[in-house]
């Protein structure tokens, strides 16, 4: 037990901030914004302090563990803790929220809903996002998983643009269907644990050690996996995302695609694989096939988009295909690459959405045709857009290149054909990113863009940290991978997966065998 309840404190601070905001008079809009920024910055500082105490070499499955009995009749506990994978995603959440609040400073000024309500919803969503990554009781995970729907529904439906009501309802229906399937599987998991242990439990560590019948695993796995595939979203469960992203404010879209969708891939890696290892191995070829289709399908649709926000949403569907491929390839390199991909995708896509938001604030449109020659009048804004785009297409030197390379190399070892087809996604990525940049930023300045102002100080502070992190991790990924790798190794052990043996012998072994052969030959002579 830790002397200080780090995770509970980090979870509660944004929630307390949301309550404080809602108690403010409606006219205190500027104070509401400043308080929202403060209550989102505190968890960031706390996560930094906690991360400095995190021991990457620890043999413990989770660190900073807190456990309190909640509903003992059903074996439910308030139980939280972090490993390298969850720590990375909590860090992503607490970095993005204050940056989004800065970027969205004036987004709700003319909205139907109140300004304080808009920023309070961001803080409530931050609480649920941190909670879902920190939960080590599967029922608690489910509670946070479902609770996230509430703030996102209102952020889209009340504060979004044209088509917001349709997009919000579609998002809600998809998510509720997935959540219902997960609830049924959760009940089945409780019954299976009760049959084996004598009493039911939702403790993650205990559930990973159950000896469930393979047939039961396959049924329960589907309930969890479909819920996570909808949340990710993985092809063919993706159709809600372009509508939700295009109808959302840019700030909401950043958290929706940058963090919320990672809950799906996190659940696949941290729940599906360790709890249902036999079922994961059984379904892996099908899921890999869907992932590869998603990579190509998302990229092709992105090429033809005329709306910038829908374009970025379709690129994310392609990227989630890479993450799914890496998770179910079940090699150390591929899973480490997928985890790093979750982090880098959050930053690169977040930067793209925010910059598109800045353009929309200036021009009032997200259509590609309404922009042209922007780099001549706003060179810094265009330059940042280019850097974010190059990161999205995995340019060497950017963090996304490291993650994509690890996924492809790790997948190639076991699923060569799938990895080769997935590589075409890199070609399409260059096409849709460079075409988008060419059509909007280069060429002659169109009349409607001649008076566009360049990026402002507050906007730069919101975007530049993401790009700096992408470049820094791209050139030196070791500190992040050192945190991720032990947790991935633990997942591999829980699943019972091993890396394929190398096809080429290490030089030391080859030299040793050569020396032995030479010695034997000399003795013969």
Instruction: Round to whole Å and give the CA distance between 337 and 356.
Output: 27
- Least confident segment among 172-186, 350-364, 511-525: 511-525
pLDDT category of residue 94 using cuts at 50, 70 and 90: very high
- Quick one: DSSP state of residue 373? -
Q: How many CA atoms lie within 13 A of 44 on its CB side?
A: 15
Asked whether the predicted pLDDT for residue 1 surpasses 50, the reply is no
pLDDT at residue 232, rounded to an integer: 84
Nearest CA-CA partner of 121 in 139, 100, 103: 100
Sign of CA dihedral 205, 211, 212, 217: positive
Instruction: In whole angstroms, give the CA distance from residue 519 to residue 515.
Output: 6
* Choice among 133-137, 451-455, 458-462, 498-502 with the minimum mean pLDDT: 498-502
Burial of 197 per CB tally in 10 Å (0-12, 13-18, 19+)? middle
From first CA to last CA, the distance across the chain in angstroms is 68
CA 495 to chain centre: 22
Confidence of residue 469 (pLDDT cuts 50, 70, 90): very high
User: 136 pLDDT exceeds 60?
Assistant: yes
Tokens of 516: 């032995």
The pLDDT, as a whole number, for residue 507 is 56
How confident is the model at residue 110, as a pLDDT? 61
DSSP-derived 3-state class of residue 69: strand
- Is cis: bond before 233, omega within 30 of 0? yes
DSSP sequence for 214-276 = HHHHHHHHHHHHHHHHHHTTPTTS-THHHHHHHHS-HHHHHHIIIIITHHHHHHIIIIIHHH-
Is the predicted pLDDT of residue 402 greater than 50, yes or no?
A: yes
Reply yes or no on whether the pLDDT at 508 is more than 80.
no
On the question of pLDDT at 79 being above 70, the answer is: yes
Dist. CA 91–CA 481, nearest whole Å: 14
**What confidence tier does 108 reach under pLDDT thresholds 50, 70, 90?**
confident
CA 346 – CA 333 distance, rounded (Å)? 20
Across 126-151, average pLDDT: 93
pLDDT at 512 over 70: no
What confidence tier does 114 reach under pLDDT thresholds 50, 70, 90?
A: confident
486 in Cβ contact with 335 (< 8 Å): no
3-state helix, strand, coil in the chain (%, to 5): 75, 5, 20
Residue 11 clears pLDDT 80, i.e. is over it: yes
Residue 70 scores a pLDDT above 60: yes
Which pLDDT does position 372 carry in this prediction? 86
The pLDDT of residue 221 is above 90: yes
Average pLDDT of the chain is 87
How many residues are given for the chain? Answer: 525
Cβ atoms of 241 and 313 closer than 8 Å: yes
Alpha-carbon distance of 261 to 229, in angstroms, equals: 9
Angstrom distances, CA of residue 67 to CA of 64, 73, 78:
10, 16, 6
Number of other residues whose CB lies within 10 A of the CB of residue 23: 9
- pLDDT score at 245: 86
Using the structure block, give the residue that is written with the tokens 């804004």.
Answer: 381
Q: Is the pLDDT of residue 510 over 70?
A: no
How many angstroms from the chain centroid is the CA of residue 329? 18
Using DSSP, how many helices (H) and how many strands (E) does the chain show?
Answer: 23, 2
> Where exactly are the structural domains of the chain?
282-500
Residue 117, token pair as written in the block: 């309500």
Question: Residue 363 pLDDT more than 60?
Answer: yes
In angstroms, rounded to a whole number, what is the distance separating the alpha carbons of residues 319 and 298? 8
Do 258 and 350 meet the contact criterion of CB atoms below 8 Å apart? yes
pLDDT value for 520: 47
Contact criterion met (CB below 8 Å) for 263 and 211: no
At 100 the pLDDT is 92
Indicate the pTM of the whole model.
Answer: 0.90
Mean pLDDT of 319-347: 91
Quick one: pLDDT at residue 511? Answer: 55
Q: Is the pLDDT of residue 506 over 90?
A: no
Concatenating the DSSP letter of every residue in 103-152 gives: HTTTTTTTSSS-HHHHHHHHHHHHHHHHHHHHB-BHHHHHHHHHHTHHHH
Provide long-range contacts, Cβ within 8 A and 24+ apart, for 132-135.
Answer: 132/263, 132/266, 133/82, 133/86, 133/89, 133/90, 133/93, 133/263, 133/266, 134/7, 134/10, 134/11, 134/80, 134/81, 134/82, 134/86, 134/90, 135/79, 135/80
pLDDT attached to residue 268: 92
Structure tokens at 372: 């042209």
Do the beta carbons of residue 371 and residue 439 sit within 8 Å?
A: yes
pLDDT per residue as tens digits for the range 242-256:
888 888 888 888 888
Residue 311 near residue 371, CB atoms below 8 Å: no
pLDDT band at residue 35 using 50, 70 and 90 as cut-offs: very high
Contact 364, 407 (CB under 8 A): no
**Taking a C-beta distance cutoff of 8 angstroms, is the pair 136, 192 a contact?**
no
Mean pLDDT of 270-277: 91
| 3-class state of residue 367 by DSSP | strand
Phi-psi region of 198 (alpha: psi -120 to 50; beta: other; left: phi over 0): left
pLDDT on residue 189: 92
Q: 76-82 and 63-71: which strand pairing?
A: antiparallel
Q: What is the mean pLDDT of residues 301-320?
A: 88
pLDDT of 513 > 90? The answer is no
């Amino acid at each position: 037990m830790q002397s200080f309840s780090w995770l509970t404190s980090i979870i509660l601070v944004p929630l307390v901030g949301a309550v404080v905001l809602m108690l403010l008079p409606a006219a205190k809009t500027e104070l509401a914004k400043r308080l929202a920024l403060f209550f989102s910055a505190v968890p960031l500082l706390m996560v930094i302090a906690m991360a400095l105490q995190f021991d990457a070499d620890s043999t413990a499955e989770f660190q900073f563990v807190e456990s309190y009995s909640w509903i003992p009749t059903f074996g439910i506990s308030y139980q939280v803790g972090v490993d390298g994978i969850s720590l990375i995603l909590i860090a992503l959440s607490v970095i993005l929220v204050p940056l989004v609040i800065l970027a969205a400073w004036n987004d709700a000024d003319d909205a139907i809903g109140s300004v304080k309500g808009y920023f309070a919803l961001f803080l409530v969503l931050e609480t649920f996002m941190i909670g879902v990554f920190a939960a080590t009781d599967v029922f608690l995970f489910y509670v946070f998983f479902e609770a996230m729907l509430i703030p996102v529904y209102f952020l889209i439906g009340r504060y979004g643009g044209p088509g917001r009501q349709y997009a919000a309802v579609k998002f809600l229906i998809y998510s509720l269907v997935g959540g219902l399937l997960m609830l049924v599987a959760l009940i089945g998991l409780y019954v299976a644990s009760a049959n084996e242990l004598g009493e039911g439990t939702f403790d993650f560590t205990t559930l990973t050690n159950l000896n469930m019948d393979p047939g039961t695993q396959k049924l329960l796995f589907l309930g969890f996996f479909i819920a996570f595939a909808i949340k990710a979203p993985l092809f063919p469960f993706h159709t809600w995302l372009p509508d939700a992203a295009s109808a959302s404010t840019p700030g909401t879209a950043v958290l929706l695609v940058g963090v919320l969708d990672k809950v799906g891939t996190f659940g696949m890696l941290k729940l599906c694989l360790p709890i249902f290892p036999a079922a994961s191995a059984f379904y892996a070829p099908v899921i890999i096939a869907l992932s590869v289709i998603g990579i190509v399908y998302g990229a092709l649709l992105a090429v033809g988009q005329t709306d910038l926000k829908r374009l970025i949403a379709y690129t994310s569907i392609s990227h989630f295909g890479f993450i799914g491929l890496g998770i179910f390839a079940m090699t150390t390199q591929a899973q480490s690459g997928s985890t790093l991909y979750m982090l880098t995708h959050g930053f690169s896509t977040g930067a793209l959405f925010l910059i598109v938001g800045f353009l929309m604030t200036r021009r009032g449109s997200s259509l590609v045709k309404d922009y042209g020659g922007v780099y001549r009048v706003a060179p810094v804004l265009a330059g940042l857009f280019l850097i974010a785009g190059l990161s999205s297409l995995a340019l060497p030197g950017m963090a996304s290149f490291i993650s994509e390379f690890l996924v492809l190399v790790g997948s190639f070892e076991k699923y060569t054909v799938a990895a080769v087809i997935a590589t075409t996604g890199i070609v399409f990525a260059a096409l849709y990113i460079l075409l988008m940049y060419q059509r909007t930023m280069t060429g002659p300045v169109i009349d409607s863009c001649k008076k566009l102002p360049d990026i402002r100080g507050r906007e730069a502070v919101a975007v530049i940290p993401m790009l700096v992190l992408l470049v820094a991790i791209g050139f030196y990924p070791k500190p992040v991978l050192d945190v991720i790798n032990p947790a991935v190794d633990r997942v591999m052990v829980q699943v019972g997966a091993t890396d394929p043996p190398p096809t080429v012998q290490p030089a030391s072994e080859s030299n040793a065998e050569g020396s032995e052969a030479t010695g034997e030959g000399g003795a013969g002579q």
